[in-house]
Amino acid sequence: MHDHDHEYDEECCIEVPEASVGQEVVDFSMKVYDPTEGGFGEMSMEAIQKAGKWTILVFYPADFTFVCPTELADLATKHEELAKMGFEVFSVSTDTEFAHLAWRNSEKLLENVKFKMAADPTGQVSRYFGVYDPESGLALRGTFIINPDGVLVSKEVNFYNVGRNADELLRKCQANLHLREHPAEACPAKWTPGEKTLTPSEKIVGNVYDALKG
**Which of 12, 13, 68, 173 is flagged as catalytic?**
68
Side chain identity at residue 17, one-letter code: P
Complete edge-to-edge strand list for the sheet that includes strand 116-119: 39-44, 29-34, 116-119, 87-93, 54-59, 141-146, 152-158
- Max CA distance (Å), the chain: 58
Burial of 91 (0-12, 13-18, 19+ CB in 10 A): buried
Q: Which residues pair with 32 in a beta bridge?
A: 41, 118
Distance from C-alpha of 137 to C-alpha of 55, rounded to nearest angstrom: 24
Catalytic-residue membership of 173? no
The answer to whether 43 and 92 have CB atoms below 8 angstroms apart is no
Q: What angle do CA 72, 77, 82 make, to 5 degrees?
A: 100
Active site residues: 68
